[in-house]
Structure 1
Amino acid sequence: MNLAKRCHQIKLILTDVDGVLTDGGVVLDNQGVETKRFSIRDGQGIRLWQQAGGRVGIVTGRSSQIVKLRARELDIEILRQGVKDKLPMVEAIAEEQEVTLDQIAYVGDDLPDLAPIQRVGLGVAVGDAAEELRTAAAYTTSVPGGAGALRELIEVILKNTDRWESTIRRYSA
């Protein structure tokens, strides 16, 4: 199936965090406090997708208060942290959200994301993902994780479904 057809069926985007919404680095201070750096462009992309009627969720292997705060800031209601086996979680989310796997785009960067990428309607690897993911993915972003990869995907979906112009109209003079 070509990319445009895959894009037309997407209702829900699920994404990993570390290596997708961030560059994969974690900073720990002397007190053990963790910080992450998120791309504002990804946040704007999430808002554009939501305004176009799409849903977004996070499925991540690690647990972090920072991720919970970022999800809340972006009105992301689907948040699953500490997930060791991601495919069963993606399947459970699909059932809960009343969508099929074909209606899901999943974005990942490393081997724990491989099974979801292989099973959903639009499997996406970030530009610096593990080779196995880039090989399995229907789409690989031109930018690495943490540099607007999710925003790029959202723009690709909206353009392939003829929703880009109506989505950005509110930003034009």
Structure 2
Amino acid sequence: MEQVETFTEPKGFVENLRYVQQRQASLSTMDIDTLDPPIADIVKSFQDLPCCFTLQSCYGHFIHEAQQDRNSTERLPISDGVGPVSYRIAYVALCIENSPEGKELLEDLRDIQTADPECIQFGSAEWFWARQVNSYVLQVEPERFKVFGVIMLRVLLCCEYFGFTFLFF
């Protein structure tokens, strides 16, 4: 597995005198139609907040023998023996303004990970921060793989129960 520094502890805010211009540039180039459809509304909601803008996002993709499309948003098939699965993590990367509203948003995002700390992380990513200060990432993947952008799993069983999908490795 290739380590791509998708996650580090959240950095503290720094001064960003160009935030307004950077946000405007992001808003003017964002094409909602190019986003993964299942998260387009979430990204749009972030764009509506004046204290942040989206840098990048991904719904998360399962690639396996029967599904080779790297942009597919299909769920894993309900079956036993799906085999090796490459999972491209789900995440939203944001630039957050160093302001009272931005600090409140930062704390709200930090609290989201408490819903499922084994699978949801909030932090910074060095490669985003190098391009954009005050950038933060909310990502979904097993805690033990949090520093990897793509992981390989051997799925032994994928089943659905009361609308929830369970994976057994």
**TM beyond 0.5:** no
Larger radius of gyration: 2
TM-score (norm 2): 0.28
Higher strand share: 2
Higher helix share: 1
